[in-house]
Amino acid sequence: MGRFHGRRPPETVSYEPASVKDLLVEMKDTAELLIDLSYSAVLHASPSVAREVVELEHRMDVLQMRARMSLMLAARNPNEAETLAPVLGVVGAADKVSDAAGDIAKIVLEEIGLPDAMRGALTEGVETLVRGTVAGDSPYDGRTLKDIDLESKTGVRVIAIRRDDDWILNPGPRTRLNGGDVTLLRGPETGVAEAYPILTGEPFEADEPVEPAIDDLERAVDSIVLMKNLSELAVDLAYGSVLFDNEELAEEVSNLEIEVDALQSRFEAWTLRAAKAAEDPVSLRGLIHLGVATEEISDAALEITEGVIRDIGVHPVVEMAVKESDEIITRTRVGRGSDLAGTRVASGVPATEIATSVLAIRRPEEGWLVGPDLDTTVRAGDVIISKGTRTSAAEFAELAS
């Protein structure tokens, strides 16, 4: 089981018949949400969001134990044991991501703290994420997300719901909100300020603005932001490499892990230099804590890809999970003279008629360009990580050749 960050003791887990495929999919979704929530808890200094990280971490502990039980029962001969071994690695790595997210949440829960200037720099351009409980007399009580139409009206998305001890990850249009549901909302601050009071019956209190970071602290902040983005991308690509048995994606995870290691080294140097000029060097503890946990996430992502890198093959249970989804992640190199070279990418969307989104670009002379606001012009030699349907991926690759 993972490290214990919560108040309650670990629950007893007994074997229940369960689909390994479903468990893996839920672990993947939970790991990605944990990363998202843990950083948001720190950026917004939100104990309530940090406590949801702890709740999700408990959930991950149960999921990984059940997955191990099911995998042990599934291995009936040496050949199956061989192909299931990497799946056990995926399960263990997801638990490490969970532990690292819990460590990040501790920065808030144990009041380790971060320099205010750093939080100000980090939150620049970042959407607001809040935790809100649906009030019994809320106009949203008993209605579906499609009926409420929150996103089109306010730009706010419900990214997860906790109903008692159960989680609804990636809620869809037919998901119904009930009084007492704990919701996680993400969107522009103006939209959250409009939706939150209607949902909860309580006023929304925005974060106080703070001064931006300067000098060595600013460099440390820039490094940790890039480390965060690269680690999140590494986890996404790692799961993609396993689900689609894609060695190219696994190689990019390795490239990302190397880059995060190098960034952490520079990050530590700039943080130590900043400590010399800080009024209270102890206030930088949280910054160091954040750097270590972020690097652990990229290490866990690399572990997820082990089976692909060793060419062990994909177990049928993973193939089943792939066949249910038409959306894939691909790596595409832009050739000289290709139609894609010179194409503008704004907020991750390329100016083409192909329905795909660009997650990141690895540029030989500049390194990684990554983030939700990716804004650049594609060049020959760029390696593009994109997400879309199988059809759009083939069209995109043809455009880049």
Distance CA 385, CA 233 (A): 9
Q: What is the pLDDT of residue 212?
A: 47
For position 2, what pLDDT does the model report? Answer: 47
C-beta of residue 250 within 8 angstroms of C-beta of residue 309: yes
Phi, then psi, of 132 in degrees rounded to 5? -140, 140
Token pair in block for residue 88: 């056990």
Query: What domains does the chain contain, in order, with CATH numbers?
Result: 20-121+211-318 (1.20.58.220), 124-200 (3.30.70.1450), 327-400 (3.30.70.1450)
pLDDT at residue 310, rounded to an integer: 81
Whether the CB-CB separation of 32 and 39 falls below 8 Å is answered with no
Per-residue confidence in pLDDT tens, the chain, 401 aa: 445 444 455 566 665 666 777 787 788 888 888 988 888 888 777 888 899 999 899 889 888 888 888 877 776 777 777 777 777 888 888 889 999 999 999 988 887 766 665 555 555 546 778 899 999 999 999 999 999 988 888 888 898 999 988 888 878 889 999 999 999 998 888 889 999 999 999 998 876 655 544 466 677 777 777 888 889 889 888 888 887 778 888 999 999 999 999 888 888 887 777 777 767 777 778 888 888 898 999 999 998 888 888 877 666 666 565 555 556 788 889 988 888 888 898 878 888 888 888 888 888 878 888 866 688 889 899 998 888 887 888 888 888 88
pLDDT for position 11: 61
Q: Looking at 178-214, list the stretches that DSSP marks H as alpha helix, in order from N- to C-terminal side.
A: 189-200
Q: Which of 315, 328, 304, 320 is nearest to 388 (CA)?
A: 328
For residue 385, list its beta bridge partners.
331, 360
* Nearest in space to 345 (alpha carbons), one of 361, 330, 323: 361
Helix ranges (DSSP H) in 244-372 = 247-277, 285-304, 306-309, 316-323
User: Which pLDDT belongs to residue 111?
Assistant: 77
What are 375's strand-pairing partners? 346
